[in-house]
């Protein structure tokens, strides 16, 4: 960040920071509550049952280290569940497991936003670093086109975050439906799952808002340097 004490940066970033703080609080609160509610299956067993019912018996489920480190890896078509989610027979565990299985089902069914997100992963992974390098070089050598390319590189992260929103919301919606359809959760459990997954969804909204506002900030502060000089 090139203007760490710039009031404009703080002002523009404040809405996203407040939303993220609220969303993270909601995730922790709803997750803690749902972890106290028993479920008939562990997270791993629920994931296995849902995958088998979807015709994806070849998709493995493996425990992974870290808290809330659950994810689906499309490179090896594996659902990775944190140890707590993997082993716990709680509403929170089956809700999170079902969400990750939702990504596996998206992958298997060729869900378009999921495929688009996979294509955009390199932009999200390397865009911010490339942005930093290009901006520094552009300012050091007075090369406006490098600054413009830096902004474009950062925009790649924005594109990824925007594409990621429907992917995450769809996975959550699939999880809510399938848990009820397969009678893994009752009505009260379905409400708890909804609360956990909806809270998690707001963290993705906050992250997207943050990168959009950050890009706008850099465009305002650096955009004037991209005009051609005589």
Q: Looking at the annotation, which residues are catalytic? A: 100
Q: Which letter, b or e, does each residue of 31-67 get, where b requires 16 or more Cβ atoms within 10 Å of its Cβ?
A: beebbebebebbbbbbbbbbbeebebeebebebbeee
198 contacts 172 by C-beta, under 8 angstroms: yes
The answer to whether 207 touches 182, Cβ cutoff 8 Å, is no
The C-alpha angle with vertex 117 and arms to 113 and 121, in degrees rounded to 5, equals 175
List the end-to-end C-alpha distance of the chain, in Å, as a whole number: 29
Rounded to whole angstroms, the Cα distance separating 96 from 146 reads 42
SS3 category, 14: helix
Tell me which residue of 94, 45, 104, 109 sits closest to 71, measured CA to CA: 104
């Amino acid at each position: 960040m090139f203007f760490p004490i710039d009031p404009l940066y703080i002002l523009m970033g404040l809405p996203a920071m407040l939303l993220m703080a609220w969303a993270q609080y909601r995730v922790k609160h709803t997750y803690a509550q749902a972890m106290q509610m028993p479920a008939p299956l562990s997270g791993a067993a629920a994931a296995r049952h849902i995958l088998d019912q979807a015709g994806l018996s070849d998709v493995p489920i493996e425990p992974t280290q870290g808290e809330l480190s659950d994810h689906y890896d499309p490179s090896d078509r594996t659902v990775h569940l944190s140890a707590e989610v993997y082993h716990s027979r709680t509403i929170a565990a089956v809700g999170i497991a079902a969400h990750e299985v939702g990504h596996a089902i998206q992958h298997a069914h060729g869900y378009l936003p999921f495929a688009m997100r996979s294509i955009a992963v390199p932009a999200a992974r390397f865009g911010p670093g490339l942005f930093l390098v290009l901006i520094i070089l552009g300012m050091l050598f007075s090369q406006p086109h490098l600054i413009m390319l830096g902004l474009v590189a950062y925009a790649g992260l924005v594109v990824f975050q925007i594409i990621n929103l429907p992917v995450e919301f769809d996975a959550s919606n699939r999880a809510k439906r399938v848990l009820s359809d397969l009678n893994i959760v009752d009505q009260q459990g379905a409400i708890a799952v909804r609360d956990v997954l909806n809270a998690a969804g707001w963290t993705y909204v906050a992250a997207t808002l943050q990168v959009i506002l950050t890009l706008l900030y850099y465009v305002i502060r650096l955009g004037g340097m991209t005009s051609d000089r005589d």
